[in-house]
Amino acid sequence: MSITISPDTSAAEILRLGIEAANGPVSLACSFSLEDVAIIDIAHKAGLKLGVFAIDTGRLNEETYEVAEALTERYRLKIDWYFPRHEEVEKLEREKGLFSFRESLENRHECCHIRKVEPLSRALKDLKGWVTGMRRQQGVTRGDLAAIERDELNGGLFKINPLIEWSEEKVLAYSKENNLPANRLFREGYRSIGCAPCTRAVKPGEDARAGRWWWENPENKECGLHKR
């Protein structure tokens, strides 16, 4: 099921409609990107009831934690943190080493499943909907997103993508105009930031997610959190 929304519907209105449709707890899956920080600010200004959760994969950059701390202080924000099952991480690293994810797509999916997908399933367990900062322009894997859709792979939850139509320029402008906390790595060319060993700065002419798993083909550049 999806809700038809016009391209000029505001992010705040998409959020409001999605939260109303979910009719229960809704949380933002926050990676502390510029997009996610903008959503927190939009929800705060609109007076919308939106929870926030984050997945600590164990391999995040220090700069990412700095943004989390800044958000906590600015908005008096409560962040629900989720971590991978330590037994699974220990087993993976003992059997395959620290960088198995660079050896094959299968290995990379295994690492992402342990560090991200399984914790996400626990984070979503008691929710009626979840919010992401995904935008259509971010890459070939996100071109057919809907503003509000049903996430059938996660029990039919409402999945809300309020910035779906935003350009990167609009995100940057909103962040600057509202003096929002921003990851210091953005100034070094990191336009999409995940785990430290799987993220590099983006080269001129590349799309925003080119620095994620840069050794893989563009159509494979998802971690499993957003399977459709």
Evaluate whether residue 18 is within a structural domain.
yes
pLDDT at 6: 79
pLDDT at 65: 97
Number of domains in the chain: 1
CB 52, CB 27: distance < 8 Å:
yes
pLDDT at 4: 67
Evaluate whether residue 160 is within a structural domain.
yes
Evaluate whether residue 7 is within a structural domain.
yes
Evaluate whether residue 192 is within a structural domain.
no
Distance set, CA 54 to CA 21, 79, 177, 212 (Å):
23, 7, 25, 19
CA proximity to 37, closest of 45, 123, 207:
45
Evaluate whether residue 211 is within a structural domain.
no
We report the CATH number of the domain holding residue 53 as 3.40.50.620
Evaluate whether residue 206 is within a structural domain.
no
pLDDT at 163: 97
pLDDT in tens, the chain (228 residues): 456 687 889 999 999 999 999 999 999 999 999 999 999 999 999 999 999 999 999 999 999 999 999 999 999 999 999 999 999 999 999 999 999 999 999 999 999 999 999 999 999 999 999 999 999 887 665 567 889 999 998 999 999 999 999 999 999 999 999 999 999 999 999 988 999 999 999 988 888 888 999 888 877 656 556 555
Q: Which of 112, 195, 198, 223 is catalytic?
A: 223
CA proximity to 146, closest of 125, 130, 170, 165:
165
Note if 223 is an active site residue: yes
pLDDT at 141: 56
